[in-house]
Structure 1
Amino acid sequence: MDAILKPADKTAARKAPHELVRPSREEAEAAVRTLLAYLGDDPEREGLLDTPKRVVKSYSELYAGYFEDPVEHLKRTFEDVGGYEDMVLVRGIPFHSHCEHHMLPFIGTAHIAYYPNGGVVGLSKLARVVDIYANRLQTQENLTSQIVSTIDEHLQPRGLAVMLEAEHQCMTMRGVQKAGVSTITTQFTGVFRDDPAEQARFLTLIRGGAR
């Protein structure tokens, strides 16, 4: 039975102002069988009989971010931090996402720093925000912007810095086939945007220095 796909938040539907009709699981599995035949293989041979079911099941995990709301993880903050007002940095958050142009993976690391404005959020919650947005079809630029916009809007820190570093399989497996090439995206708000020294401090800390 068909269902209506209602994205968990507005950014999931940035190009879809109307509600999307979600095909049934059976229709999704039939689409996989069509692709297998298009590739030149036999969907009815033993090794591929259960492939459509496995692919659809794996997609429900790889793209689970469409059905989660990152804001839910930022609602609870803690104000009893002993007057701490300096930078909070979560460094080296691993993530994997999929390019919206080729549906091939890009795999990387996120670094998030912010200056608290009266309270802090659980450190794991920042990683949750990264994962939810990463588990959607993405570009790295848009992924960076979504993480920044959500954290900035709901925590309202005095400053926020986000860096993503990733290797894109659409460059290594196809096209120019350049393995080992990484893409870096950054975005800053508040004191990080206004003060180059704060940007430099952030970059030094994520590279393993201490200042």
Structure 2
Amino acid sequence: MKNQKQREQDLKEIEKAYSTILSKLPLTNEGVESTPKRAAKALLELTQGYHTTPEEKIGEGIFPYEGDGVVHVKGLEICSLCEHHLLPFIGTCSITYIPDKKILGLSKLKRISDIYARRLQVQERLTEQIAEAIEKSVNPKGVLVVIRSVHLCMKMRGVCEKDPETCTVVRKGEFARNQLLTMQYVSESHQAPKL
């Protein structure tokens, strides 16, 4: 983990890089004088997931469980930066798992998804990382993670598609073996991304 002095040095170097980038544009608006500093702070905030781990965020948020239920949380907001263009992709994450003697506090599911979303990402890897973190933390009988999002790199540049929704699904354990169970929760996970 970086100390305060290292973070301040990073901030200055990123600010300088943004100043260089902006100097190549024919800007005439004086309102962008502070943009390099604001953009540097934003980039560090948007990539803060590199500086923590699921284990740190979960802490003591694992509890014993004797039931035979299913945990299904949908609509967790995902905001990440595409590693190819540094443009956002925004959407929702649904997490379903079948506990095996242990459960996670519900807020920990959001924290796990945020750790990985706050890194430069591709949606496919993000979905896999969330599923693996849940699998590692409570060793459930099965894990299903579904992310639906809109990528601004497709909406604002390149193909300029109006409403492109990307859906990624990772199935582990019982969900990998049982297609009907998977489809039930994938269809329940549908919630259109909001921009």
Counterpart in the other structure of 1:67: 51
Q: Could you tell me which runs of 5 or more consecutive residues in structure 2 were left unpaired when the two chains were aligned.
A: none
Q: How far did residue 175 of structure 1 move?
A: 0.4
Q: Spell out the pairing of 1:31-70 with structure 2 (5 A cutoff).
A: 31-41=17-27, 46-70=30-54
Aligned mates of 1:75, 1:155 — CA distance in 2? 12
Q: TM-score, normalised by structure 1?
A: 0.81
Structure 1 residue 75, shift from structure 2 partner: 4.3
1:28-52 residue CA offsets vs partner (Å, 9 max, x unmatched): 211111110112326xx63222111
* CA–CA separation in structure 1 for the residues paired with 2:95 and 2:85: 27
Q: Which residue of 2 aligns with 1:205?
A: 188
Give the TM-score normalised by the residue count of structure 2.
0.88
Contact residue 11 and residue 41 of structure 2 kept, 8 A? no
Give percent identity, aligned residues only: 38
Matches within 5 A, 1:100-119: 100-119=83-102
Distance in 1 between the 2:161 and 2:168 partners? 19
Paired with 1:204 and 1:58, the residues of 2 have a C-alpha distance of 35
Letter in 2 for 1:124: S
| SS class of match (2:74) | strand
1:174 corresponds to 2:157:
yes
Aligned equivalent of 1:26 = 12
Give the Cα separation in 2 of the matches to 1:158 and 1:75.
22
Q: RMSD of the alignment, in Å?
A: 2.1
Give the direction of change, closer, same or farther, for the CA distance of 1:163–1:41 in structure 2 (3 Å limit): same
Question: What does residue range 107-146 of structure 1 map to in structure 2 within 5 Å?
Answer: 107-146=90-129
Q: Provide, for residues 1-58 of structure 1, a one-character-per-residue CA deviation record: whole Å limited to 9, x for no partner.
A: xxx969xxxxxxxxxxxxxxx963322211111110112326xx63222111111111
For the residues of structure 2 that align with 1:37 and 1:29, how far apart are their CA atoms? 12
Count residues in correspondence.
186
Q: How far apart are the structure 2 equivalents of 1:123 and 1:184?
A: 23
SS in 2 for 1:39: coil
Flag structure 1 segments of 5+ consecutive residues without an equivalent: 7-21
Structure 2 counterpart of 1:171, which letter? Answer: M
Report if the CA contact (8 A) 1:145-1:187 is conserved.
yes
Matching residue of 2:63: 78
Q: 1:67 to 1:184 in 2, by over 3 A?
A: same
| Contact 1:74–1:155 (CA under 8 A) maintained in structure 2 | no
